[in-house]
Every structure is written in C-alpha cells, then in structure tokens.
Amino acid sequence: MKIQDIPTDKLFADTPDLESRLAAQEQGEMRLWLRLLSCATLIENEIRSRLRREFKTTLPRFELMAQLHECPEGMRMTELSRRMLVTNGNITGITDQLEKEGMLERHRQAHDRRSSVLRLTPQGKKQYQIMAAAYREWLSAFFAPLSAPNKEGLLDSLGELKLLAHIQTHNNA
C-alpha cells in the first residue's frame, strides 16, 4: 500500500492539525525561553547577593573591572559600554565610583582631551583577582552537579542560540 492510497482522514487521524502543532511549538519555545530566563535570573541574583555581602560591591562594578582586567592596556568608555551592552552614562557612574576608591585610573589621550583610557590600578587588579576567584567558585558550585556531557551540550546549544540571536538582531536593525 502506498501513502497516496491511504484516505487522508486515516492518514492524519492521530496528528494534530497545523494550527495545533504551531501552538504546541510556540508553547515549547515560550517554555524554553522562560526556563532559560529563570535559570539566568536565579543564578544572577545569587551572584549579585554574594558580591554585595562578601565584597560590598555590585555586579556591574565587577563586570567593568573584569573587562578592564582582560584589556590591561586600557579601554575607552565607549568600548566598555559596547562590550557590557549598557550606555556610556552607566559606565561613567561606575567609573567615577571606582576611581574615587582607587580601583581604576583615567588616562587622558594627548590627541583627544575629551577621551580617556581606563585602566585598573594595582589595587584594582588585586581586588578584582580576589573577587574573580570567589566568582569562579560560586559558578562552579552552580554547575558542578551537571554531568560533563550535559555541560558541553548546554554550552554548544547556547552558543548556537547566541549566534542565531546575533544574526537575528542584526538583520532586524
């Protein structure tokens, strides 16, 4: 018997119609998005709490210091805001606080007096390294219960999702 010989009412008897299948797919995607968001939010909130409790600092301050740590020659505020996905105004406020505390310094550019390159001070580097070690321990505790293959699969899937999201957002710009 060929598929063409099967009456369509029998062929699709146990198959939901297209509208139902699309609705189920949309629910699955919504469920996936909400699960991803809730996991990220739970972990981020705990990290924020621990940074505040143990180091009297905030996640944005830590992230700014991390960016500068990765770029020892320094970075302009515009580049920092682009990497951190925030406005220059957000960077300015954090920078002012960290500069007052001696964690970073501004180096004015000879060719452009309006522009500064930001760098961690020796004190800022030391403080960042202490916080980063604790941060890595906290993340390790979150992900340790997952098996190595699950971690690798999750990393691959999220990498693919990030690439697709990047493409999507640039195509819609």
Report the pLDDT value the prediction gives residue 170, as an integer from 0 to 100: 83
Report the pLDDT value the prediction gives residue 113, as an integer from 0 to 100: 67
Write out pLDDT tens, residues 89-146: 889 999 999 999 999 999 887 776 677 899 999 999 999 999 999 999 999 999 999 9
Q: What's the average model confidence in pLDDT over 152-163? A: 94
Angstrom distance (rounded) from CA 35 to CA 52: 26
Beta bridge partners of 104: 120
Question: Which domains are seen in the chain, by residue range?
Answer: 20-171 (1.10.10.10)
Report the pLDDT value the prediction gives residue 152, as an integer from 0 to 100: 96
Beta-carbon count within 10 A of 65 CB: 23
Write out pLDDT tens, residues 1-16: 554 555 555 545 555 6
Report the pLDDT value the prediction gives residue 116, as an integer from 0 to 100: 86
Angstrom distance (rounded) from CA 50 to CA 32: 27
Percent of the chain scored above 70 by pLDDT? Answer: 83
